[in-house]
Amino acid sequence: MRKLFLKIALTLLLPGMVFAASGGVPLIQANNDIADQASLQAGAKLFVNYCMGCHSAQYVRFERVGRDLGLTEEELLENLMFTAKKVGETMTIAMDKDDGKKWFGVTPPDLSVIARARGTDWLYTYLLSFYLDSSRPWGVNNLVFKDVGMPHVLWERQGWQKPFYETVTDEDGNSHQVIKKLVVDKADEAKAEQYRKEMRDLVNFLEYIGEPAKLERRALGWKVILFLFIFLGFAYALKKEYWRDIH
C-alpha cells in the first residue's frame, strides 16, 4: 500500500518537476515524429553542420544513421561525414575536452542521449529561447538554461531575439523586471518561422539517436498486435471446443 501511495504522489508531482526543470518556463511541445524520414534527414544535416563542431554523438555510428534514414554510403560521405573517413566510425569530434572547458566554461556534453535525459520538449524550447544579453561572454542568454555557456550558433537561421520586459510586483511589494516574451525584427519573422520547423527536425534527429532501435520497435509493434489478435481468435475457438466436451 505504501508503494502505491508513493507512485501516486510521484505521478502528481511529475508535471511540477518538469516545469521546474525548465527554469519556470512553460515548455513548447516539439510534436516531432521519428517516423518522418525526411525530417530525420534534415535534422541530421543540421546536427553535423551546426552541433558537431563542439558536441559529439559517440554512441552512434554513421553506418546505422545511413541505414535508418535511407541514405546510401555515397550520400553519407557527401552530406554528413566531413571528418570521418569510414561509415563504421562513430560521430565523434576532434575538439579536446580541456579546450572546450577553457573556451565555454564547461566541456560541451555528448548529445547521444540528450533527448532521453532532457526530453524533446525541453530541447525544442531551449533551442527557441536564446536572446541577446550583452552581459554574457557570448552576448546571449537563454530562458530555459540561465547563463548558458553555449553561443547561439544558429542565430543566422533565426535572427537575433530581443527580450521584451515587463515590471511585476512580488508579494513583498518589491518591483522588478521580468522577460515577458522574446521578439525578432519584423524582417526576420519569416526566417524565425522556418527556424522553428528546422529545430523540430533537429530535435527529431536527437530523439532518434537517443534510441535508434525505437524505429524498429515501432515498425514491429503493429505486427505483434495483429498477431495477438489473430492468436486470440484461435485461442477462443480452442477454448470453446475444449469446454464443449467437458460440459
**Contacts with 41 (C-beta within 8 Å, 6 or more apart), sequence order:** 69, 70, 71
Within 133-191, strands assigned E span 140-142, 161-169, 175-184
Mean pLDDT: which of 1-10, 22-31, 48-57 is highest? Answer: 48-57
Please state the pTM of the whole predicted model: 0.79
Report the pLDDT value the prediction gives residue 247, as an integer from 0 to 100. 59
C-alpha cell at 119: 526530453
pLDDT digits (tens, 9 = 90+) for 59-84: 999 999 999 999 999 999 999 998 88
For residue 238, name the pLDDT band (cuts at 50, 70, 90): confident
Q: Which of 18, 23, 206, 212 is nearest to 124 (CA)?
A: 206
Report the pLDDT value the prediction gives residue 23, as an integer from 0 to 100. 55
pLDDT digits (tens, 9 = 90+) for 188-216: 999 999 999 999 999 999 999 999 988 77
- With residue 58 as reference, give the H or E element that holds it: strand 57-61
**Contacts with 48 (C-beta within 8 Å, 6 or more apart), sequence order:** 79, 80, 81, 82, 91
| Length of the chain (residues) | 247
